[in-house]
Homo-oligomer: A and B are copies of this chain.
C-alpha cells in the first residue's frame, strides 16, 4: 500500500512517498474487532502464514510463512476467527520501501541515505496502515524478538488501540553484549571494500563478505550451545561424494578449508543470506534493535515506562535463549505487574535457543492457542 503524506521519524527526519508491503489472512468481521497485527524480526517479512505457490520475492528459502506454526486455519491464531495482518517494515528489503529504492528527493537510490528508523517509527507506520484498512482497535498485536519489541511499543504508543499484546523471546532493550554482537556484524559489512559507504548499488557490487560474516555471527547467537553440540558437535565434514554415514575421522590440517560440519553449515547459511539480504537493511534493523529502550525516557525505569500500557499481555521466553534470556522477559513481566497489568508469562524449557520462537514446540504452541482461545477470542464481537 502506498502512503503519500510524509511520516515524521524519531530522528527528526521524515520519509515520504513510501510503500508498505503487507499480507492478510482470514476475514475482518463486521465490528472490525478481530484484527491481529504480526510484527517481524530481523530476517523476516509480511509473509507470516500460508504457503506461496512459488518462492516469491526471495523472501525466504521456503515459501511457508515464517510463523506458520502459530497462524492459519485451525492454528493457535486461527484465521477462521481472526483477521491477521503481516506487514513488512520500512527499511526492509522484502517489499516495503527500503534502501534499495529510489529517494524521491533526488531520484537516486537511497543506499546509506535511507533515514534511520526505529521501533517507534515502525509502529507509527503500522498504525497508518491500520487506519487505511479501517481498523481502529487490534484484538492483538504480536511478535517475536524484535517483533516483540514492536508489540510492546504498540501498547505504549497506542494504548487505546491494543487489547492484547503477545511478546515472545524479546527484551525491554538490548544489553551491552547484544549491542556488541550487532556492532561486530555492522563493522564486517561497513568495512567490506564493496560496501562503498552504503552506496554499493551504484558500483554494481554487493558487500557479500560482510553480509556473510554478519549472518554467521547472528546464527550462532540464535542457537543454543546445547543444540549446536547435539546437532553438530565436533563432527568432521564428510568428504565430498562420501556416502551418508561415512564419517571422516582424520583432520585435513588446514586453516582455510572446512574441517567441521559446523563450519560447513555456517558457510552455507552465510552464502544463502548474502544473496538476498540487503546490507543497508542489516544496518538499519540492527540499529533499531540497539535504540529500543522505552525505559530511557523515564529515567531508566521500565516500570514507569510501562505505566502507559492498558493492554493485557502474554509473554513467552525460552530457557536456552541466551540472546534474549528469560531474565529479560521477566524484567518486562515485573514492570507490568508493578503497574497491576493483566499479564500471563510462560518460560518454555526448550533446547533451541532464540530460534525457538519460530519453531514447532508443543508447549509453546499450546500456550499461544490457549491464550487466544480463552482470552482474545472471547471478546470478539460479531
Contact = CB atoms under 8 A, between A and B. Distances in A.
A188 interface: yes
Contacts of A13: 253
Contact of A180 (B173, B253, B266, B284): B266
A209 interface: yes
Given A173-B234, A228-B176, A255-B287, A262 B112 contact: no
A176 B217 contact: no
A177 interface: yes
Q: How large is the interface on A (under 10, 10 to 19, 20 to 34, 35 or more residues)?
A: 35 or more
A228 to B, nearest CB: 4
Contacts of A163: none
Contact of A263 (B179, B198, B232, B254): B179
B183 A266 contact: yes
A293 B234 contact: yes
Nearest to A264: B183
Interface string A114-125: 011000000000
A181 interface: yes
20 contacts: A116-B254, A174-B234, A175-B225, A175-B229, A176-B228, A176-B233, A183-B263, A183-B267, A184-B216, A184-B217, A184-B220, A184-B266, A186-B256, A188-B213, A190-B256, A193-B193, A213-B213, A255-B280, A255-B284, A255-B287
Given A177-B220, A183-B260, A183-B266, 7 more contacts: A175-B228, A177-B229, A179-B262, A180-B216, A180-B266, A184-B266, A259-B287
Interface of A: 10-13, 112, 115-116, 173-177, 179-181, 183-184, 186-188, 190-193, 197-198, 209, 212-213, 216-217, 220, 223, 225, 228-229, 231-234, 251, 253-256, 259-260, 262-263, 266-267, 270, 280, 283-284, 286-287, 290-291, 293, 296
